[in-house]
Amino acid sequence: MTKRVLEVSDLKKHFPIRGGLLGGTVGYVYAVDGVSFHIDQGETLSLVGESGCGKSTVGKSVLRLFPLTSGQVVLNGKRIDDMSTGTLRPLRRQIQVVFQDPFSSLNPRLRVREILAEPIRNFGLANSEAEIDEKVGQLMDKVRLPRDAVNRWPHEFSGGQRQRICIARALAAEPDIIVCDEAVSALDVSVKAQIVNLLQDLQAELGLAMLFISHDLAIVEHMTHRVAVMYLGQIVEVADRKQLFGAPRHPYTEALLSAVPVPMPGAARERIVLQGDVPSPIKPPPGCRFHTRCPYAFDRCRKEVPRLQDNGAGHQAACHLHDLPAEQNPLLNKAPPTAFRAA
């Protein structure tokens, strides 16, 4: 049986808005509003969506970088969302993170050896300096950097090399899961491909689980096992990679896929241009949050919040269209996006 590494249930993070003469709370930003998902050992779950939809806030909430409004986060069978800082500290070894900007996330005053040795010391994973040196050397081998580079400073490396160091630092704690928060979005195209391939190789070698947060659907389609699509603080669709890219079951996912460049010259595909702007997370619209931009919206969408329900083979979507007869559902009567049709 596959081990469940991370389980998130009804996660909410609402940021208070301060104002008025006394600086009281005048409202909330509903950044994440009822998100649930799970990740198994050796699996990659990608979290995708437009900028500002709450993807990174989910990642930081799972990492307990700030207190949650409500919900549960279970890591390797232990609930961590309500743990005190002291109780949580030894469990932080099990979940590590690779941030978007590899330069700002590295201490410029420490050489690479000290950066990689710090988590080894913090979690008591070595008994001597000689053992630390050996572990640091092995980490450099894993991310395909020369061992003698451990005596250099972060500014002496390129962006891709810095990100490899960040990955090595995450691996130093011997985690079960790594949160990659836009980990390749700041890199050049060729370097991006190298880092993605490295992450896949490390996952296969070490059995790591990954929460891969990204807006780059081409990268996601290449490396993920399952995909969760977010819109305005909520997950609107979850499916296996092939199911989601081959036959999306939510109008928002359909629009996202239509915007991905077609890799085959001359191939035709209908581009879906959504009307209007994303509503404010301070005052989300009633009913389905996507109804203000959805080309298929009807009265029920404006009044009733759709439930994330399974439409078969583990493919979940939060859309009232799936309560209609199949012949009346426009999502079920379309060809899959050209770029993702199976050969």
In this structure, are 36 and 149 located in the same domain? yes
In this structure, are 272 and 125 located in the same domain? no
In this structure, are 10 and 120 located in the same domain? yes
In this structure, are 134 and 45 located in the same domain? yes
User: What is the C-alpha to C-alpha distance for residues 109 and 250, in angstroms, rounded to an integer?
Assistant: 48
In this structure, are 160 and 77 located in the same domain? yes
* For residues 2-7, average pLDDT: 93
Residues 38, 43, 48, 53, CA torsion sign = positive
More confident residue, 343 or 176: 176
In this structure, are 54 and 181 located in the same domain? yes
Residue 231 within any structural domain of the chain: no
The domain that contains 82 carries what CATH number? Answer: 3.40.50.300
Does pLDDT of 79 surpass 50?
Answer: yes
In this structure, are 214 and 309 located in the same domain? no
Predicted TM-score of the model (pTM) = 0.91
Residue 232 gets the label, from left (phi > 0), alpha (psi -120 to 50) or beta, of: left
Strand partners, 11: 35
Residue 147 within any structural domain of the chain: yes
What's the domain count of the chain? 2
In this structure, are 158 and 282 located in the same domain? no
Please report where in the chains the tokens 């704690």 appear, as a residue.
173
Q: What is residue 340's predicted lDDT score, i.e. its pLDDT?
A: 45
CB 39 within 8 A of CB 209: yes
Q: Which of 158-167, 196-205, 286-295, 307-316 bottoms out in mean pLDDT, i.e. has the lowest?
A: 307-316
C-alpha gyration radius of the chain: 22
Assign 343 a pLDDT band (cuts: 50, 70, 90). very low
Write out the residue range of the structural domain in which residue 177 sits: 4-224
Residue 311 within any structural domain of the chain: yes
Contacts of 280 (CB under 8 A, 6+ apart): none
Q: What is residue 334's predicted lDDT score, i.e. its pLDDT?
A: 66
Angle at Cα 204 formed by Cα 203 and Cα 210, nearest 5°? Answer: 25
What confidence tens digit (pLDDT) does each residue in 322-335 have?
998 888 888 887 65
Looking at 184, 206, 224, which one is the last position of a domain? 224
The percent of residues in the chain predicted with pLDDT above 90, rounded, is 75
Residue 82: exposure state from Cβ atoms within 10 A (0-12, 13-18, ≥19): exposed
Assign 338 a pLDDT band (cuts: 50, 70, 90). very low
Contacts of 318 (CB under 8 A, 6+ apart): 234, 235, 236, 237, 250, 288, 306, 307, 308, 309
In this structure, are 259 and 194 located in the same domain? no
Residue 298 within any structural domain of the chain: yes
In this structure, are 35 and 114 located in the same domain? yes
Residue 236 within any structural domain of the chain: no
Residue 230 within any structural domain of the chain: no
Q: Helix axis angle, 159-172 relative to 129-142, nearest 10°? A: 130
